[in-house]
Amino acid sequence: MIESPSVHLLGLSAQEVETLVVSLGQPAFRAKQLRNWMFGNLEDDFAKMTNMPKAMLESLAIGHTCRVLKVKACQVAQDGTTKWVFETHDGHFFETVLIPTDDRRSICVSSQIGCAMGCTFCRTATMGFIRNLTLGEILEQAWYVSKYIKEKEGPEARLSNAIFMGMGEPLLNLENVALACEIFNSQEGFGIAKDKITVSTSGVAPKILEWGHRAPDFKLAISLNGSNDTVRSELMPINRRYNIETLLETADEYIRITGQKLTFEYILIKGKTSTPQAARELKRIASHRHCKINLIPLNRGNPDMEAPDDGEIAEFERILAQGDFQVLRRRPRGPDIYAACGQLATEQKKVA
């Protein structure tokens, strides 16, 4: 990765910001003021930070920046879902999505540019893996979307939920994602409740346990997507390394470590994962576990796959309803702009 020519202030810890302002000859309390301007007031213009010394602001303006991402495109779906394409300082592209409902404003966050997991139903997989996003790049997604919400809806509007279900495998960028979750939750950051922050993984078993120890207070979702190893290995190459038995043992240990209810995400693909037999297998997997299941009908992406019809989905749900766990069907948001689950992908220009 080409290093950014400027220090990205959003990506610095509170201690790092304090060290910076002290190095500029300022008292340590200026660090809290600076972070309040960035996160509390969503201000990126040093000239507008009026309660700080002019000399300090002039020094910050040389070699420091609050923002490193450029907005290259924005699309708004019929249901109000909004998708942005961001360009990084080194010339790559990734996407972020805002999902509004009557009582929630959820951001779907990307953690990587592209993805190495190779899931056959996911458009992001067609990009391959380019690199991890930095902590600052992850936070700037929430910064930009928060500013957009306030400008559109008023000063009291704010993000209510954050979900790491955008581009990439979050647990392969674990430390940056964990730090981002902490700042999403912090009252000095974005003030999102811990139980409204969810990280979704394709099932990298050792990283699930690492995550459980590193960030036990945030929600975890595992993309199961297959009820047996044959189907799951076809859809998700990660299953050839960590099969369903290994994944479930890991899930049980994660639940023991954290006490959290786990979410299994399950994509419904006609003829593959939506059959009555698959429903019965999934019911056996979820039964007697501290978990819930999110059913996700396939969104457009892979031309060789299609979603089941409403009748097939209803029968699948009927079988699962006999279990002792919660089942929710996720409604697609923003499919007309390719903003729904599994649809994020961008063309990448060549970088010298």
Look at the pTM and tell me if it is higher than 0.75: yes
pLDDT value, residue 331: 85
Say if residues 252 and 285 touch (Cβ distance below 8 Å).
no
Instruction: Let me know: does 317 contact 310? Beta carbons within 8 Å.
Output: no
Assess whether 341 carries a catalytic annotation. Answer: yes
Q: Which CATH architecture has domain 7-65?
A: Orthogonal Bundle (1.10)
**pLDDT value, residue 335:** 80
Catalytic annotation present for 317 = no
Of 241, 237, 287, 242, the closest CA to residue 264 belongs to: 287
Which of 119, 122, 181, 341 is catalytic? The answer is: 341
Per-residue model confidence (pLDDT) at position 301:
74
Q: Are 263 and 294 in contact (CB under 8 A)?
A: yes
Q: Where are the domains of the chain?
A: 7-65, 70-337
Question: Residue 352 has what pLDDT?
Answer: 35
pLDDT along the chain (352 residues), means of 10: 81 96 96 97 96 95 96 94 96 96 96 95 90 98 98 96 97 98 97 98 98 98 98 98 98 97 97 97 96 93 88 97 95 78 66 38
Residue type, 255: I
**Nearest Cα residue to 222 out of 250, 185, 184, 257:** 250
Query: Is residue 141 within 8 Å of residue 148, measured between CB atoms?
Result: no
- Among residues 18, 66, 95, 119, the one annotated as catalytic is 95
pLDDT value of position 85: 96
Span 70-337 CATH architecture: Alpha-Beta Barrel (3.20)
